[in-house]
Structure 1
Amino acid sequence: MNQLVLGDFTLTWLRGGMTQLDGGAMFGVVPKPLWSKRYPHNELNQIPLRTDPILVQAHGKNLLIESGLGNDRLTDKQKRNYGVTEESQIHQDLAALGLTTADVDIVMMTHMHYDHANGLVSRREGELVSTFANAVIYVQEIEWDEIRHPNIRSRNTYWEENWRPVEGQVQPYKERQEVLPGIEMFHTGGHSNGHAVIRMESGGEVLLHLADLLATHAHKNPLWVMAYDDYPMTSIFAKEKWIPEGVKANAWFTFYHDAIYRAIKWNEQGEIIDKIEIK
């Protein structure tokens, strides 16, 4: 398991599953001759995308960023359509760290699309129950409202079965939420109307988790946004704000979906100056 120490915080990537989605959809209006130079694809034009939650151990608490694909949450048709090649192994990875899902205190959800939220819920004796039964789940309030009242477009990714079993654990917030000292969530919109990002700071070190605004390292260009983004111009404006701020602060940029890197640092010329590769 890859780890990153940020001051007094320790981050560990857990195996949450793997999908393969259409490269054209993931890079929107960017022509394939451009994006294909920066990210791998197969003969079906699909690109590999991890769905790996990040365990953050800070202030004596266990926090998760996102929840993974889960297990036994998708039909065979859905697995085929989403190119799923691997489901969650979070239980095994937590066990290797001497933990269980009951030890997770907080889950930070940047948004509630199925590939981020499926792991919140588990199938047990034929019923859907909360995976992290003792955790507070932070969700931006617009996002929380939309998953419960999806529109004609969003209902394909906002599923009732991903919120109903955990609704008593959810703590919505407005524009900003201090989760713990040095760990904050900020509403950005863009990818979804309630999309949020996470900023951490400890020991003078900074980390930004921009979630699906920066799905992979190849999405660094502010104009390279997904066709999946509901509000692409909002995504562009948010990237124009957060990425330069992070570069100036010498911040780590962490990834949930990237199949090559866990985290990267860029300089002002856009060059990679530090990296953690998936192992």
Structure 2
Amino acid sequence: MDAFQFHDMKLTWLNGGVTHLDGGAMFGVVPKPLWSRKYPANDSNQIELRTDPILIQYQGKNLLIDSGIGNEKFTDKQLRNYGITEQSKIVASLGELGLTTNDIDYILMTHLHFDHACGLTRWQDDQLIPTFENATILVSQVEWDEMRDPNIRSVNTYWEANWKSIVNQVKTFEQQLEVLPGILMVHTGGHSDGHCIIRLTQKGETIIHMADIMPTHAHQNPLWVLAYDDYPMTSVFAKQKLVREIVENGYWVSFYHDAYKRLIKWDTTGKNIIAELPRTRESHTTAK
């Protein structure tokens, strides 16, 4: 597993599964000749997207950023349409670290779309139960409200199977929440109305987990937003502001979906990657 020691925090990317989604949808109105230079597609025009939760071990606590794609939540049609070639192996990943699902204290949900939230529940016999029964699940109030009462567009991604059995574990917040000193969840909106980013700060350094307003390193351009975004202009403005802050201050950026890079840092121009933690596991497509 890929890991990064960030001062007093240890970050480890667990195996949360993999999807392959349409490249055009993932890059919105950006023409393929542009985005394909930065992120490759397969013969079906799909791009590989990991769904790998980040385990943060800090101050004696175990925290997850998002929960992976889960297991046995999909029909054969959904497996095909979402290009799911591997489902979650989070239990095995935790086991390699000497942990179980019961050892997770907090789950920081950037949002509750199925590819981030399916791992929150699991099947036991014919019932769905919490995967992480001792964890407090943190999410913005706006996102939690829409999860339970989706609109005509969002009903396809907010599933009752992912929330009904975890109600008693959920804690919501409005604009921002300091989970522990140096771990801050911040509401941005954009990709979904309740979407959040996560700031990790240690000894004068910062990692910003941009979640789905920058799902891969190829989405740096503020105008390169997803067709899946419910509020694309909110995404554009939020990303424009954050990218400026990131490059001016030399912050790291971490990823949940990127199949090739776990962490990157740009130079002050924002044009060159000057440091990175690559994904070491073999990719399903070949990076260019």
Indicate the TM-score class for this superposition, using the shorter chain for normalisation: over 0.9
SS in structure 1 at match of 2:235: helix
SS in structure 1 at match of 2:69: coil
Q: Percent identity?
A: 58
1:101-124, Cα deviation, whole Å (9 max, x unpaired): 000000000000000000000011
Q: Does 1:277 align with 2:278?
A: yes
Q: Which amino acid aligns with 1:267?
A: D
Tell me the residue number matched to 1:222.
Answer: 222
Q: State the shift of 1:95 in Å.
A: 0.3
SS in structure 1 at match of 2:110: coil
Q: State the shift of 1:76 in Å.
A: 1.1
Taking only aligned residues, the RMSD between alpha carbons, in angstroms, comes to 0.6
Tell me the residue number matched to 2:75.
Answer: 75
Q: Which amino acid aligns with 1:278?
A: R
In the alignment, is the contact (CA less than 8 A) between 2:247 and 2:269 conserved in 1? no
Tell me the residue number matched to 1:176.
Answer: 176
State the alpha-carbon separation in 1 of the partners of residues 249 and 96 from structure 2: 33
- 5 Å-filtered alignment, 1:109-258, equals 109-258=109-258
Q: State the shift of 1:269 in Å.
A: 1.7
Q: Which amino acid aligns with 2:279?
A: I
1:81-132, Cα deviation, whole Å (9 max, x unpaired): 1000000010001000000000000000000000000000001111100000
SS in structure 1 at match of 2:122: strand
Q: Does 1:65 align with 2:65?
A: yes
In the alignment, is the contact (CA less than 8 A) between 1:6 and 1:206 conserved in 2? no
Q: Which amino acid aligns with 1:61?
A: K
Q: Please, which moves more after superposition, 241-250 or 69-78?
A: 241-250
Q: State the shift of 1:248 in Å.
A: 2.2
State the alpha-carbon separation in 2 of the partners of residues 243 and 166 from structure 1: 34
Q: State the shift of 1:204 in Å.
A: 2.1
Q: State the shift of 1:246 in Å.
A: 1.8
TM-score (norm 2): 0.96
SS in structure 2 at match of 1:49: strand
State the alpha-carbon separation in 2 of the partners of residues 151 and 167 from structure 1: 20
1:126-169, Cα deviation, whole Å (9 max, x unpaired): 11000000000001000000000000000000001111010110
State the alpha-carbon separation in 2 of the partners of residues 254 and 75 from structure 1: 31
SS in structure 1 at match of 2:265: strand
> Runs (4+) of structure 1 moved beyond 3 Å?
none
In the alignment, is the contact (CA less than 8 A) between 2:250 and 2:268 conserved in 1? no
Matched residues, number: 279
Q: State the shift of 1:7 in Å.
A: 1.3
SS in structure 2 at match of 1:193: coil
SS in structure 1 at match of 2:264: strand
Q: Which amino acid aligns with 1:188?
A: T
In the alignment, is the contact (CA less than 8 A) between 1:6 and 1:203 conserved in 2? no
1:201-240, Cα deviation, whole Å (9 max, x unpaired): 0122210001000000000000000000000000000001
Q: Please, which moves more after superposition, 267-276 or 170-179?
A: 267-276
State the alpha-carbon separation in 1 of the partners of residues 193 and 184 from structure 2: 19
State the alpha-carbon separation in 1 of the partners of residues 133 and 183 from structure 2: 22
In the alignment, is the contact (CA less than 8 A) between 1:3 and 1:13 conserved in 2? yes
In the alignment, is the contact (CA less than 8 A) between 1:9 and 1:57 conserved in 2? yes
The gaps in structure 2 that reach 5 residues or longer are 281-288
State the alpha-carbon separation in 2 of the partners of residues 247 and 57 from structure 1: 26
Q: State the shift of 1:249 in Å.
A: 2.3
In the alignment, is the contact (CA less than 8 A) between 1:183 and 1:200 conserved in 2? yes
Q: State the shift of 1:175 in Å.
A: 0.1
SS in structure 2 at match of 1:92: helix
